[in-house]
Amino acid sequence: MPSDFERMCRFIQEHHLLSLATVHHNQPYNCAAFYSFNAKEVCFVMASDPKTQHIRNVLHHPYVALSIALETHDIGTIQGVQCHGRMHELESTTLEREYFQKFPYAKIMRPLLWCIRVDHIKFTDNRLGFGVKLTWTRAL
């Protein structure tokens, strides 16, 4: 039987679009982005231009939140994750390689890649029972 963390990672790796929330001067901002996920490092990688509002926000306040949800009308199959962590410019060539393996067409645009180092994940999985929530928190 998979661990709670393995269940979370499997869900995250089955998807490719996240919703990212940032803030600056008490003004929230939200955007959608394609991502790759590394379970060993527990981090997301996404591409974005430094001129975008969300990246300008991150440069002032690196703490972000994100969500990934299964779109369904069937209440018994609802699944989704909510995470928070710190976002910074990507430095790892291994994570860069993983991102471009998942999105090879993106390499042509030579995007700047960003890493979200996750501190906490909450996973809702109604398949395990109505309203079941699993959590993971990074050890300090």
For 107-120, the pLDDT digits (tens) are 999 999 999 999 99
Q: What was the pLDDT predicted at 37?
A: 98
| Residue the block writes with tokens 């030579």 | 110
Domain residues for the domain of 36 are 4-137
Strands 27-34 and 17-24: antiparallel
Q: What was the pLDDT predicted at 120?
A: 98
Model's pTM, two decimal places? 0.94
pLDDT tens for residues 89-135?
A: 999 999 999 999 999 999 999 999 999 999 999 999 898 888 889 99
Q: What was the pLDDT predicted at 131?
A: 84
Please state, in angstroms and rounded to a whole number, the distance separating the CA atoms of residues 69 and 92. Answer: 27
pLDDT tens for residues 28-62?
A: 999 999 999 999 999 999 999 999 999 999 999 99
Q: What was the pLDDT predicted at 17?
A: 97
CB–CB of 36/102 below 8 Å? yes
| Residue the block writes with tokens 């926000």 | 57
CB–CB of 117/90 below 8 Å? no
Number of domains in the chain: 1
Q: Say how many C-beta atoms besides its own lie within 10 A of residue 67's C-beta.
A: 14
CATH number (domain holding residue 96): 2.30.110.10
Question: Is pLDDT of 24 > 90?
Answer: yes
How open is the CA angle 53-60-38, to the nearest 5 degrees?
80
